[in-house]
Amino acid sequence: MLKAGTACQVCSQWQQHRVCLSCQVEFAPRLCRCRRCGLQLHPHGDSKVCSACEDYPPDMDQVITAVDFAPPWSDVIGSLKFGSTPAMAHTLSRLMADAVRRESWGTPDLIVPIPLSAQRWKERGYNQAWLLASQTARELGWANRLHPHTLVRQRETGRLMAMQSDERQRSILHAFAIAPDQAYRVSGQHVALVDDVMTTGATANEAARTLLQAGAASVTGWFAARTPAPKVKVDRSKTRHLARSTPPASDNPAPAKLGPKMHQ
């Protein structure tokens, strides 16, 4: 029996998937990423960890992400979160499962989604992290490792998307707790923590910290998308001003003055 078709969210081609296989291949390339935070690294670099994570190691032992949070995936995730289109989780979870197969250091004991606040759940009718965790676990054959009630939110944090990095960290502090009847599951276990997007890492690292404080042996983050590092903007007006104010180099520069010789 033929499945009902649908238009690809990206190219509008009529086929069987929310995002067609051609677009998945084109817009989900395999990138060299930092193992600790998921940011893109130079493909020919020697280190597997970025300098920021070397200096300030995050709470998660490893981060695995499927794609960058950029078009078309930012639109796909927007439809999942705000467009009442939970079916978008299917395509994203397949990409996440592929990334886990390639990058994971081992098999998790628990798969735990980031919990949604009661207000957001009421607005959306579902937790997108739970959908991604459930479907990714099923893709990997680990459905029995999913424990969606392990983490709970203790309080509302406001819309973190609109906050700067420091404000996010203050807002999310102590926002999570381990459900009392689930504490026994966490101790000594390797946990995969699942969410849709990792932006600054404030939410995921706070959740990871909560799990580690409850005795988890390690926490790996699984994310559908990672927000790329911001590009440094060069103020070209200052560059032009500096160029005008710097005298041109002489064709015959004066020889440099030599200091006293060092004693042999």
Task: Read off the CATH number of the domain in which 169 is found.
Answer: 3.40.50.2020
Q: Could you give the CA distance from residue 84 to residue 82 in angstroms, rounded to a whole number?
A: 6
Q: Could you give the CA distance from residue 196 to residue 142 in angstroms, rounded to a whole number?
A: 19
Give 194's strand partners.
113, 222
pLDDT band at 97 (very low <50, low <70, confident <90, very high): very high
> Is residue 247 domain-resident?
no
Residue 256 DSSP class: P
Residue 84 DSSP class: S
Q: Supply the DSSP string of 148-167, one letter for each residue.
A: TTSEEE-S----GGGS-HHH
Contact yes or no for 154/115 (Cβ under 8 A): no
pLDDT band at 3 (very low <50, low <70, confident <90, very high): low
Mean pLDDT, the chain, rounded, equals 84
> Is residue 264 domain-resident?
no
**SS3 breakdown of the chain: % helix, strand, coil, rounded to 5?**
40, 15, 45
Q: What is the pLDDT of residue 7?
A: 86
> Is residue 256 domain-resident?
no
Look up residue 164 and give its amino acid.
Q
**Tens digit of pLDDT for each residue in 137-183?**
999 999 999 999 999 998 776 665 556 666 666 778 889 999 999 99
Q: Supply the DSSP string of 163-187, one letter for each residue.
A: S-HHHHHHHHTT-EEE-GGGHHHHT
**Tens digit of pLDDT for each residue in 241-260?**
444 544 444 444 444 333 33
Mean pLDDT is lowest, of 54-63, 83-92, 156-165, 200-209, for 156-165
Query: What is the mean pLDDT of the segment spanning 51-75?
Result: 95
> Is residue 242 domain-resident?
no
> Is residue 172 domain-resident?
yes
**Tens digit of pLDDT for each residue in 22-35?**
888 888 888 999 99
> Is residue 245 domain-resident?
no
Q: What is the pLDDT of residue 162?
A: 56
Q: What is the pLDDT of residue 262?
A: 38
Say how many domains are in the chain: 1
pTM of the model: 0.81
Q: Domain of 92?
A: 32-230
> Is residue 214 domain-resident?
yes
> Is residue 179 domain-resident?
yes
